[in-house]
Structure 1
């Protein structure tokens, strides 16, 4: 479980726990992807249990290869620790100047600080686990105002506007968080 210091739990901003995805999470993942808002911002939405299983197999391979670290985000206050999102650290390689942080939040968990808590926990973990990493990037499309707010809340500083590139039709923002 990832974590670290947390602010006091409140009903409007519950504590979250991060752990590797497992087969027991897949029904909740498919349910989360039924949300049109989530599908709008996602390159490859998961629309069936078979797709979720393939996604999990890929996530486990990526973890074993050390290329990508994907975590299920759980609400620690919910009965049975309900799935509320996903965070991922992409591209931890010597060829990449800064790994990228990505995330999504299930519709039933939005507006409660879940994304910012999860991104903060992942960022701390990344800097602790990979001492050679001195910066993390968080990218989002320019019209994704919610992602811009999450980046700011987590201490990521706006760096630049990036030109649109497939599959994203609009320009993007790059925010960065330095270690230390």
Structure 2
């Protein structure tokens, strides 16, 4: 799945849309991860998957979707058009669908990584990135989101 990050970067022949696509692949899931964390910590009450990942809440998942959509708005309406003017004509519904897809697959990637850690009986996937839970904790949402992100770009949804 990480190879899809290279495909995303080069899908337009290595031009400016490939850069925009790659940055969006990283930014939207990371913004939604942060929104999920802060929403869940502040108002989370209902456990999402208590046996798999006891800290995740339904409220955090909703916060992730809202945060992912707000992050996509900031990215596609404010930042990306400066780097790639062609993206300025992108319809709102397209980047909203893209944001929701990346947010949901990002959450699934995070849960899949939690399952792997549970099976290995470890809390952190490595000590490479202290405080962040390891490299898998940083890459889990991006890795699983890479395939649908690529499909969104090459299918024409994001144009």
TM-score, reference length from structure 2: 0.29
> What TM-score do you get using the length of structure 1 for normalisation?
0.26
Q: Which has the higher helix share?
A: 2
Higher relative contact order (CA 8 A, sep 6+): 2
